[in-house]
Amino acid sequence: MALLEVKDLKVRVEEREILHGLTMTVNEGEIHAIMGPNGSGKSTLSHVIAGKPGYEVTDGQILFKGEDLLEMAPEERAAKGVFLAFQYPVEIPGVTTMNFLRTALNAQRKARGESELMVPDFLKKVREVSKSLNIPQDMLKRGVNVGFSGGEKKRNEVLQMALFEPSLCILDEMDSGLDIDALRIAADGVNALHSPKRAMVVITHYQRLLNYIVPDIVHVMSKGRVVKSGGKELALELEASGYAQFEDAA
């Protein structure tokens, strides 16, 4: 079943069109990779899906589980199951990671009309997940991402993904700034979350990440358009021949 349908999406930032009519469909259980050179509009697409302010959608639509996503407030999208793992997770001083996780989870539950998770249940869940991601407990007591290493920040994103149980996970350049070990831990965490009901959209510049998270479908973006889609072998092809061949197609 189609989870996310992006149809002929045109997006402007400050009077300049960045996405020029982008179409893609992500079904439940699928892993999609979006590849493309810097500046091709990958992050813009992820931001528009998540509802970040500052982007003007001039044409097209986005459906999520058949509903008009662009009509929803960003926090509503989160509660409905859209999760964006940021390329550069921010720091929030003075707000402990534990407090943040609980506040966010309860906000989402409240928006869905569910009751707050009881503290012991919450703690149990956090402990389980953080253990599997190799996140030490004292990291949860520190301010959100404050003083975290690059790898810790990305693991913290995966931790939230595991905790909030979204149905659509968009990972923007999860591999940037990570060494191989850190990348493997984060990728294992992501793979563990793969399920028949959940879809992943993995945005990356390099093929490397896709050795760890193996996509069903690869899209190549260039200059604000999807210029080619194919199976996982497309990523390898790109790795060998580079993006240049697509520049003209765009």
Partner 1 sequence: MPAVQETVERVKRIDVDQYRYGFETQIESDKAPKGLSEDIVKFISEKKNEPAWMLQWRLEAYRRWLTMTEPTWARVDYPKIDFQDLYYYAAPKPKKTVSSLDEIDPEILKTYEKLGIPLREVAMLEGVEPKPGEEDPARRKIAVDAVFDSVSVATTFKAELKKAGVIFMPISEAIREHPELVQKYLGSVVPTSDNFYATLNSAVFSDGSFVYVPPGVRCPMELSTYFRINERNTGQFERTLIIADKGSYVSYLEGCTAPQRDENQLHAAVVELVALDDAEIKYSTVQNWYPGNSEGKGGIYNFVTKRGDCRGDRSKISWTQVETGSAITWKYPSCILRGDNSSGEFYSIAISNGFQQVDSGTKMIHLGKNTSSRIISKGIAAGKSQNTYRGLVTAHRKATGARNFTACDSLLIGDKCGAHTVPYIEAKNSSATFEHEATTSKISEDVLFYCIQRGLSQEEAVGLVVNGFVKDVLQQLPMEFAVEAQKLISISLEGSVG
Encoded tokens for 38? 């810097």
Distance between CA atoms of residues 201 and 218, nearest Å:
10
Distance between CA atoms of residues 11 and 21, nearest Å:
8
Q: Minimum CB separation from ligand ADP for residue 239, in Å?
A: 17
Selected binder of partner 1 within 1, 38, 66, 90 (CB under 8 A): 90
Where does this chain bind ligand ADP (CB under 6 A)?
A: 13-14, 18, 36, 38-44, 54
| Cβ-based neighbour number of residue 66 at 10 Å | 9
Selected binder of partner 1 within 57, 72, 100, 188 (CB under 8 A): 100
> Residue 44 binds what, of Mg ion, partner 1, ligand ADP, none (CB under 5 to 8 Å, by partner type)?
ligand ADP
**Interaction residues for partner 1, span 141-170 (CB under 8 A):** 143, 160, 164
**Please, is 70 exposed, middle or buried when counting C-beta atoms within 10 Å of its C-beta (0-12, 13-18, 19+)?**
middle
Window contacting partner 1 (CB under 8 A); options: 29-37, 77-85, 179-187, 206-214:
77-85
Selected binder of partner 1 within 57, 70, 95, 236 (CB under 8 A): 95
Q: Which helix (H) or strand (E) holds 155?
A: helix 150-164
Encoded tokens for 58? 């001039």
Q: Does 43 bind Mg ion (CB under 5 A)?
A: yes
Encoded tokens for 211? 């050795």
Angle between helices 97-111 and 119-132 in degrees, nearest 10: 120
The residue among 14 and 181 lying less far from ligand ADP, judged by its C-beta, is 14
Find out whether 13 and 54 touch, Cβ atoms under 8 Å: yes
The residue among 19 and 140 lying less far from ligand ADP, judged by its C-beta, is 19
> Residue 39 binds what, of Mg ion, partner 1, ligand ADP, none (CB under 5 to 8 Å, by partner type)?
ligand ADP
Encoded tokens for 97? 């990671």
Q: Does 97 bind Mg ion (CB under 5 A)?
A: no
Selected binder of partner 1 within 2, 70, 72, 92 (CB under 8 A): 92
Find out whether 201 and 169 touch, Cβ atoms under 8 Å: yes
The dihedrals phi and psi of 187, each to the nearest 5 degrees, come to -65, -40
Q: Does 52 bind partner 1 (CB under 8 A)?
A: yes
Q: Write out the residues near partner 1 by the rule CB under 8 A.
A: 13-14, 50-55, 73-75, 78-79, 83-84, 86, 88-95, 100, 103-105, 107-108, 111, 143, 160, 164
